[in-house]
Amino acid sequence: MYRVIISDVEVFCSIALMVTLIPASAWCAGPALTPVQIRSALVEGMRYKSLNQFFQRKQISGYKHIRGTTVTLATGLSGTDIQANFFNEWWAVAAQGAAARQQMRQITPDQIESTGLLYARVYAGALGAVSTSKLNRRYGSKQAHLVLQIGDRTIQPVQKEMVSRSDESVPNLLIGLPEGEITLDFAFDVTPAELESPVMVILIDGDGKHHQHKADLKGILTYD
């Protein structure tokens, strides 16, 4: 059994940081978590030994353990796979639980300020020399930018962070096939009513190219 207390130790998880970076006095449009919901999210997150296990990807797209909406913005046919995975704050708090267990930290629900934000984790992967060489330029060092377009309104993220960057896996390294992956986190302040309408998800890379797809995010801010 793991108890959850935020200490002064730096949290190596931007999703976990996003939950607490916005001051408690800041007004956010989405529904806030109740103390009971925060506790249940932390308990769920602490079932996993690490953040990597919590954010384990499926073979094709999306995350194995997180309920949310996956939007495909590019496929391997273009040389790069890009998926934006949207989820609500309950799962973001659960990530804090996973981070706490991994780091042998303690955390309590009353240390978490609920903001009601919508979260998006963007995965960009490339295979092959040409695509991999473009990956860092287009998506590394916060070059990429994610926005949501609802009607004639463009919603900017209130948080964005590059979470990780990895190079060749062992099998592809042995056969001399270059590959790379970059993971980015974003958070948006939107209302459930706004998400009743279709959402155009637009990722703008470092070259200014738009990768976009229409998504149905209706009900994603609802907590079970």
What pLDDT, in 10s, does the model give residues 171-223? 443 334 446 889 999 999 999 999 999 999 999 999 999 999 999 999 999 98
Please check whether residue 223 lies inside any domain of the structure: no
CB 107, CB 96: distance < 8 Å = yes
Q: Give the confidence band of 6 by pLDDT, cuts at 50, 70, 90.
A: very low
| Section 81-92 average pLDDT | 95
Whether residue 123 lies inside any domain: the answer is: yes
User: What pLDDT was estimated at residue 111?
Assistant: 86
Q: How many domains does the chain have?
A: 1
Is 74 part of a structural domain of the chain? yes
Average pLDDT, the chain: 81
Q: Does the structure show a pLDDT above 90 at 76?
A: no
Instruction: Tell me if 148 is assigned to some domain.
Output: yes
Distances (CA, A) of 39 to 20, 53, 109, 136, 218: 15, 20, 6, 38, 25
Most confident of 54-63, 70-79, 86-95, 134-143: 86-95
pLDDT at 162 over 70: yes
What's the confidence (pLDDT) of residue 23? 43
Average confidence (pLDDT) over 113-140 = 84
pLDDT at 3: 38
Q: What is the predicted pLDDT for the residue at 62?
A: 77
Looking at the domain assignment, is residue 220 inside a domain?
A: no
Q: How far apart are CA 221 and CA 207, in angstroms?
A: 32
Higher pLDDT, 5 or 14: 14
- Kindly state whether residue 174 falls inside one of the protein's structural domains: yes
> pLDDT band at residue 134, thresholds of 50, 70 and 90?
confident
pLDDT tens-digit map of 89-106: 999 999 999 999 999 999
In a domain, 145, yes or no: yes
Question: What local confidence, expressed as pLDDT, does residue 22 receive?
Answer: 40
pLDDT for the residue numbered 179: 67
Domain span at residue 128 reads: 14-215
Query: Does residue 10 have a pLDDT over 50?
Result: no
User: What sign does the dihedral 11-85-89-29 (CA atoms) show?
Assistant: positive
For the chain, what percent of residues have pLDDT higher than 70? Answer: 76
pTM score, two decimals? 0.82
Is 4 a member of any domain?
A: no
